[in-house]
Structure 1
């Protein structure tokens, strides 16, 4: 059966009225950044976004570069028991690394010895739990168990997905945090090792810098004490 031209146009217009436009479903552009610590400038951001890192340090805190996987990695200050201890963090001012409520994945390659563990070492973070919102990858306790942390913009409750295995064995491990809706998963060497549930509407959006290796250079900065490589964040 053939439709008349008028009837055919009416059918097309009717379908257009009930079908959503492609633009209406588009969310914010995806964001991906990566720090390889290779090249002439080890603190340059590798994906071309210009989000290069700048060090903040105190008491002689510094990093050194070491060979890893055909490139370089960053070694942070070793354990220190007598204050004042050297402290350093690497920062980028990057509001585009605020995921809001969107899906986010982030991670790093780490090498940490058994004598380099503390009650808390920060691998990477955006924001502070005590001042607004946050997402973070940390390694905690003598067992060196990694975990993923999320804190909402308007609720100070800390949500943590803790790995069932430690990584403080002086070998390289890849760590990854994944947030998808109400679920946060921690992966160690590509294997899911822990999970937690967070509010589906939890949002992370703050004006604080993105930091690697510690919160800053102050006394309680959760200094990372091992070696880091391949730090990355993907949003959206």
Structure 2
């Protein structure tokens, strides 16, 4: 059986709106790919929330059944490649009518497997001081939490500017990070947990002088940041961990519909 699944959400006049995509039902001549539906849904939700659509610069719907060499569904060519250590793998799994990817499970002894999906740096992945939103659908159980798990990352906090989405601590709360050219980590953490064995849509949103974290379309944390904070680096876009080495902040759940929107 096929199920539609939520990809983005918005709050409009106090109403929670979930936008879905699933099997196309239009006449074959007008049928669109699932990834096209994801792009359209993001644009519609952004307009509904009054934040402007911007431009999706990277999008991964994971509907091709691949766990490496994953095409960028935005059409911008940011193909993901697997980087792994100690036998780490990323597995293609079913999610509703499409696909998703599962990262290595929790490991606390011996030489643990590590894996991430990376695309080389590109100018259009660097927002500078522009508005940026980035997020993903996440499935993580309570038993798979750790001190920190990276979902989306570009750049490093200590050696370059950075934007990052992560799940923190045993409680499994989502947090968003921005680091500019000058030292100093700007972090906002969700007031609720996402590690409960259910799918959640998480979004980090930078607009002017604020950074927010949204869970299932609801703002769950917000903080002020400098409008001059600029993120621009030559580091790869990395999903599921910051690399393949032992201290890579390994994500230990399932990801779907990962996206970055700038503008």
Fold shared by both chains (TM-score > 0.5): yes
SS of 1:132 mapped into structure 2: coil
Stretches of structure 2 lacking an aligned partner (at least 5 in a row):
1-53
* 2:131 equivalent among 95, 103, 122: 103
* 1:125 equivalent among 149, 153, 164: 153
Is the contact made by 2:127 and 2:262 (CA closer than 8 Å) also made in structure 1? Answer: yes
Tell me the TM-score normalized by structure 2: 0.77
TM-superposition CA deviations, 1:50-84 (whole Å, max 9, x none): 11101110000001111112101101101101131
Q: How many residues align?
A: 207
1:125 offset after TM fit, Å? 0.7
TM-superposition CA deviations, 1:57-115 (whole Å, max 9, x none): 00000011111121011011011011310001110013220000000001000000001
* 1:199 equivalent among 226, 232, 246: 226
TM-superposition CA deviations, 1:121-179 (whole Å, max 9, x none): 000011000111000000001110001000001x1200001100001110000000100
Please name the residue that 1:142 is paired with: 170
CA change 1:30–1:229 in 2 (3 A) is closer
Tell me the TM-score normalized by structure 1: 0.85
Tell me the distance in 2 between the aligned counterparts of 1:44 and 1:85.
28
Please name the residue that 1:39 is paired with: 64
**1:224 paired to 2:247:** no
Please name the residue that 1:173 is paired with: 200
Is the contact made by 1:134 and 1:149 (CA closer than 8 Å) also made in structure 2? Answer: yes
Tell me the distance in 2 between the aligned counterparts of 1:108 and 1:208.
20
- Higher-RCO chain (CA-CA 8 Å, sequence separation at least 6): 1
Stretches of structure 1 lacking an aligned partner (at least 5 in a row):
1-28
Is the contact made by 1:36 and 1:231 (CA closer than 8 Å) also made in structure 2? Answer: yes
Tell me the distance in 1 between the aligned counterparts of 2:91 and 2:160.
32
1:219 offset after TM fit, Å? 1.4
Tell me the distance in 2 between the aligned counterparts of 1:199 and 1:91.
29
Please name the residue that 1:233 is paired with: 260
Tell me the distance in 1 between the aligned counterparts of 2:172 and 2:95.
21
Mapping of 1:4-83 within 5 angstroms?
A: 30-39=55-64, 41=66, 43-83=70-110
Is the contact made by 2:56 and 2:259 (CA closer than 8 Å) also made in structure 1? Answer: no
